Amino acid sequence: MAFFEQHIHDAPDTFLKKYIFTTDHKIIGKQFLWMGIFFLGVGGMMALMIRWTLAFPGQAFPVIGTFLFPDTAGVVPPDTYAMLFTLHGTIMIFYAITPILIGAFGNFLIPLQIGARDMVFPAMNMASFWISLLSGIVLLSSLFLPLGAAASGWTSYPTLSTLIGSPGMGQTLWTLAIFMLGIGSTLGAINYITTIITLRAPGMGYFDMPLAIWGIFMTAILNAIFLPVLGAGCLLLLFDRLFGTTFFLAGAIATNGSGDPVLFQHVFWIFGHPEVYILILPAWGIVSDLLAYFSRKPAFGAKTTALCMITITILSTLVYGHHMFTTQMSPLLTQTFMTLTMVISIPSAIFFTNWLGTLWRGSIRLDSPMLFSMGVVFVFGLGGLTGLYLGTVTTDIYLHDTYFVVGHFHYTMAASVLLGGFAAVYFWMPKMFGVMMNECLAKWHFWLSFIGLNGIFMGMMILGYAGMHRRLYNPFVYDFMKRMVPMNTMVTWAALMMGAAQLIFVYNFIHTLIKGKKIEDPNPWKVGTLEWTIPCPAPHYNFKEIPVVRCGPHEMGNPNLPEGKDFQFQTEELVKV
């Protein structure tokens, strides 16, 4: 039962109140979506520049290269290359994936799927978006500084990120931007947690929530706990850069008893490994729901899946040390972190098995959200299996800091989360905007993206196994790497294919918004969760009457339902099987 009384407020009457400085969770969700799509394009273009440099060293980047790099005749220079891979990683993780999956769909879905009229703290919700957007502006503004943007990698390890390694203001703005983003995301996390706990519709127990809400719930808990840890690390790094402190200054411990660059690595990865699950838990939850909806059967082991999310959330706080096996960590600690890493694979494997159980003997409909969801099943399976080699001390020592690591975390964080995000966009497009995207274009988008990303990330793992280290401007100065030029070229062509596929999505998305026909059916996918009991797009107040929940979110395929109907709404009494 809700602890807060929910009123129907008048709709905003000005453009600024409705679309800019809005407190409506649905509009804020759309704002985050537009922000994420913009930064996805920026980060994607940076990735293409990186790939072009590795595949065609010394050749000008096509079309826009001479405009961007006039001093080098269009060739990406080495210092700019370092900035590109730094900002690419930072933007994709913090400013593309996070706004789309957590900001957009967290905001949009939570009240609608739990039967609430808005978030508990609407003004805090608005502040969360504007602080996050301002953070992104600060980050991009660093590109126009005399010495350029940050160039120390997305992890910004000292001493590369101290004044010794990065004397310009670009690294300072990077650190400030991440600190600001942490504030905005923490405000959102507090709002999400409070809303889910206090505003669930009457009759909705925790295990009556859709699994998408479970994923966002667990993500919000991790954000609330661990973003302040990253914020503390960034604040100390700012002090080192601006006020002359020595928290992360190498060698300072020998003179004044303080200062250790490895301390930053501990602080970063205490946040950084939960961040993997912060990003992927919403995608897991969304995919778990969509597989059930498009298999037209209840989600296999739904309660077990939710319990696995809880277990993974807890264990994710204990495994960060496997990122630091090469920092002369104590052998006793390495054994402990390796064991915990293997343990966390158990609930992940159960999760994966439940997905297969949902698909087994289902009446599968291969609409675009289902294709993207099944794509997540495939790429997460590959990403999870390859992670075992990096969680094991002996193999990690060889593979550490190679492109095998890059391929692995792109499979888990980039491919899984990106495909899950696209599945969500295609599925909830009618609820967000009242229109359906073109299915033919959506399927072209899926197949080109799926083939392209597997070509990229599988190729990266092959290159890493061959010994190619990450972050090198020209690895082919080493004789043993010269034979890997064709493989790098293949990976780049796969990246170009994937980039072209995103143009299909952009065209489909914008064309649908401008010329798409408004849908007449408020429940086009025939799904029983609460958001599909109201019109499309959802009115500003969501629900005229707060719904009463009488069953779970995946009640489909019941043979005792009336003829011609294979699902029931959560507001309907459960028909006994």
Cα–Cα separations (whole angstroms), residue 511 to 261, 354, 515, 572: 50, 37, 6, 37
> Can you tell me which residue has the tokens 């925790």?
206
Q: Does the pLDDT of residue 25 top 90, yes or no?
A: yes
Distance CA 220, CA 132 (A): 16
Element (H, E) at 207: none
Token pair, residue 220, equals 């919000």
Enumerate the β-bridge partners of residue 182: none
Q: Is the pLDDT of residue 2 over 50?
A: no
Residue 136 has pLDDT above 90, yes or no: yes
pLDDT at 1: 42
pLDDT tens sequence across 138-184: 999 999 999 999 999 999 999 899 998 899 899 999 999 999 999 99
Residue 4 has a pLDDT of 61
Q: What is residue 566's predicted lDDT score, i.e. its pLDDT?
A: 85
Listed residue (421, 457, 137) closest to 290, CA to CA: 421
Q: 397 burial class (0-12, 13-18, 19+ CB within 10 angstroms)?
A: exposed
pLDDT given for residue 353 in this prediction: 94
d(CA 54, CA 485): 8
CA angle, residues 24, 29, 32, in degrees to nearest 5? 130
Report the pLDDT averaged over residues 469-473: 91
Domain 27-533: state its class. Answer: mainly alpha
281 backbone dihedrals φ, ψ, rounded to 5°: -60, -45
Band (17; pLDDT cuts 50, 70, 90): confident
Q: How far apart are the first and last CA of the chain?
A: 28
Do the Cβ atoms of 525 and 427 come closer than 8 Å?
yes
What sign does the CA torsion over 296, 300, 301, 306 have?
negative
pLDDT tens profile 490-502 = 999 999 999 999 9
Mean pLDDT of the chain: 92
Minimum mean pLDDT range among 5-14, 187-196, 273-282:
5-14
Please report which confidence band the pLDDT of residue 293 belongs to, taking 50, 70 and 90 as the band edges.
Answer: very high
C-alpha span between 272 and 278 (Å, rounded): 9
Share of the chain above pLDDT 90, in %: 76
Query: Encoding tokens for residue 103?
Result: 């900001």
| Residue bearing tokens 């099987």 | 577
Nearest to 288 by CA among 345, 352, 346: 352
Q: Looking at residues 67-80, what average pLDDT do you find?
A: 91
Classified as helix, coil or strand, 105 is helix
The DSSP result for 488-502, as a single string, is HHHHHHHHHHHHHHH
Q: What is the pLDDT at residue 577? A: 60
Cα 554 to Cα 210: distance, rounded to the nearest angstrom: 8
* Banded pLDDT at 253 (limits 50, 70, 90): low
Residue 533 DSSP label: G
Break the chain down into helix, strand, coil percent, rounded to 5: 65, 0, 30
* Nearest C-alpha neighbor of 387 from the set 299, 305, 323: 323
Domain ranges of the chain: 27-533
pTM for this prediction: 0.94
Cα diameter, the chain: 81
Question: Residue 460: how many CB atoms within 10 A of its CB?
Answer: 26
Reduced to 3 states (helix: H, G, I; strand: E, B; else coil), residue 518 is strand
- Torsion, Cα 153 460 269 347, to 10 degrees, reads 160
Q: How far apart are CA 80 and CA 197, in angstroms?
A: 47
For residue range 207-237, what is the model confidence (pLDDT) as tens digits?
Answer: 999 999 999 999 999 999 999 999 999 999 9
Q: Is the peptide bond before 282 cis (omega within 30 degrees of 0)?
A: no
Helix (H, G, I), strand (E, B) or coil at 435: strand
